[in-house]
Amino acid sequence: MEVVIVPDATAGGELIAEAIAALLSRKPDALIGVATGSTPLPIYQALTAKVRSGAVDASRARICQLDEYAGLPAGHPESYRSVVLREVIEPLGLSEKSFMGPDGAAEDVQAACDAYDKALAEAGGVDLQLLGIGTDGHIGFNEPCSSLASRTRIKTLTEQTRIDNARFFDDDIEQVPHHVITQGIGTILESRHPVLLATGAGKADAVARTVEGPVASVVPASALQLHPHATVVVDEAAASKLKLADYFRATYAAKPRWQGL
């Protein structure tokens, strides 16, 4: 696992956008997994700026979802599909044909989960998977004690998560779905390059446990330690509890530029 400490969220977004740009230069039709929420927005903004300036050609890029609410009707403005279309697909000038995700409105949810895992494999696998991290160490909707070998599946949202997400549903918790579809940890680990971005002091404990703690299902993100090419990008606040912060800074400063992120 490589840990990169950056000054702030903007710098983190720019660094990861540069990595995506380099990937697209090598593989124009790369499959890029995206996450929702506020943390990855600086990545999408930086990448969009590169595309609009002509520095990056993303016209053949493919985009796939990390997770989705279960039970929301197709086209619901707060479905993660709709969010990704607004925040990633449209700004990058892509069409919906370049986008794939699980069917959150399916009557047979498990069949939809199995179909999504199969679709990712048939697409050649995810080249770069963007991830955020929860304060409890979750990635996607893989909450603590999720199986480290789990596949795409349905998960039940905790009451606190539904309360937190109510702000996207007119502050009405009754509108927030009880269930979600999420790529499992095993599915995430099949991506060629998982990249986790964490910003803010509120993520410091989770980052320290993910990077320097033992691999354990109680901290799902710690499974990234098992991946041969996982990158964790953190700002100074999120890195504040890392015991090896100085080591991480030194190793990244000495890294050959040709290696990239």
Catalytic residue among 68, 87, 117, 143: 143
Structure token digits, residue 146: 């999720």
Whether 138 sits among the annotated catalytic residues: the reply is yes
Quick one: which of 159, 146, 154, 160 has its CA closest to 180? Answer: 154
164 part of the active site: no
Q: Name beta bridge partners: 16.
A: none
Catalytic residue status for 236: no
Q: Residues 154, 156, 160, 162: what is their CA dihedral angle, to the nearest 10 degrees?
A: 70
- Token couple for 214: 């033992």
Catalytic annotation, pick one of 67, 68, 103, 235: 67
Q: CB neighbours of 248 closer than 8 A, spacing ≥ 6?
A: 3, 4, 5, 239, 242
Candidate list 14, 117, 138, 235, residue with the active-site label: 138
Find the catalytic residue in 136, 164, 205, 212: 136
Map 20-47 to HEC letters: HHHHHHHCCCCEEEECCCCCCHHHHHHH
**Is 143 labeled as catalytic in the residue annotation?**
yes
* Catalytic residue list: 67, 136, 138, 143
